[in-house]
Amino acid sequence: MYSILDLQDKFNLLIANQVFKKKPHKLYDPIAYTMSHGGKRLRPLLTLLACDLFSGDVEKALYPALAIEVFHNFTLVHDDIMDKAPLRRGKETVYKKWDSNIAILSGDTMFALAYQYALNTDSNLVPKILSVFSQAAIEVCEGQQFDMDFETSPSVSIDEYLEMIRLKTAVLIAVSLQIGAIIGDASEEEIIEMYNFGNNLGMAFQLKDDLLDVYGEQEKFGKKTGGDIVANKKTYLFLKALELCDSDNRQILNDTYNNSAIDSEVKIQKVKQIFDKTGVKNAVESLMLSYYDAALHCIKNIQVDETRKTQLLELASSMFSRNY
């Protein structure tokens, strides 16, 4: 049984041994730049922990875990173009450091690299791994499109928003665990429980991300806070605030969100004031907890020695309670 630190070391060594810098430089330098930023590496860690949970061969899970991490970073490179985000993990985004065309092409290359890495495991497992990986890739793109659609949509329901974040964020966390369980030779029932564990954990994780975008510290969060408000993203905070506030504040909130001429900092402060009045922060935290509790229920159904769950539960707890 491995510790989180052991698995981090294994994965970081694998990353360090990859040669991302090749020619043409403008294609590969952004990939090397992106992969050198570190980040939390949560998804590959979940893959390795899930494999180890079932006493699987973690070595066989390393490259599929790398595939998931490269794919995740590809989505961030492209998302930053669409969101016009200047910072990612405290550094300039690829499209800001180079340009959008380079960011698009480098991201496309990362997508292809992810599939190459996914092939590097037990050949008998490749068809199943690629099947779930491909489905996740499609769903992540569906989620991103819904996210962009919602920016200009006059009306978005809370249920529609929750389905969007399930696709955009939770699915890849769920599949990270699912692939680890597949490589660990878990039963079909256990693989489903691991997917559901990740899905619920991913929902809690994204809701925390939404909360931190408004209330987090930029230095710890690694990207500009208030970005969702500036980009008119109809997050759970916005939608729940509309539900909770009175008619006057509802009109102010809608008008402020739809005002493209307003100064960004003024917009953020006006929206936060209404969020604070409605107590929407507590509502988000309550929903996060319900998803987290559902995730824990799934992991309880896994019939392995409880001590083998310790590391996975520790990482899940850190994802839920983080303040960065």
130 beta partners: none
Instruction: Give the pLDDT confidence score for residue 299 in this predicted structure.
Output: 96
Instruction: Give the pLDDT confidence score for residue 80 in this predicted structure.
Output: 94
**What residues contact 60, with CB distance under 8 A and at least 6 apart?**
51, 121, 122, 125, 183
125-167 pLDDT, tens digit per residue, is 999 999 999 999 999 999 999 999 998 888 899 999 999 999 9
Mean pLDDT of 1-15: 96
H or E, element range at 91: strand 91-92
The conformation of residue 223, written as its DSSP 8-state character, comes to S
**Are 216 and 225 within 8 A, CB to CB?**
yes
Residue 291: give its domain's CATH number.
1.10.600.10
Residue 282's alpha-carbon distances to 115, 206, 207, 239, in angstroms, are 41, 16, 12, 14
Report residue 284 as tokens.
Answer: 């988000």
Helices 42-53 and 58-83: crossing angle, nearest 10°?
150
Report residue 3 as tokens.
Answer: 């510790």
Instruction: Give the pLDDT confidence score for residue 219 in this predicted structure.
Output: 62
Number of domains in the chain: 1
64-86 pLDDT, tens digit per residue, is 999 999 999 999 999 999 988 88
Coil, strand, or helix at residue 2?
coil
**Are 19 and 289 within 8 A, CB to CB?**
no
Full-model pTM: 0.94
The neighbour count for residue 219, using CB atoms within 10 Å, is 9
Tell me what percent of the residues of the chain surpass a pLDDT of 70.
98
Instruction: Give the pLDDT confidence score for residue 38 in this predicted structure.
Output: 79
Within 13 Å of residue 276, how many CA atoms lie on the same side as its CB?
A: 8
Report residue 40 as tokens.
Answer: 């939390």
| Segments forming the whole domain that contains residue 33 | 4-321
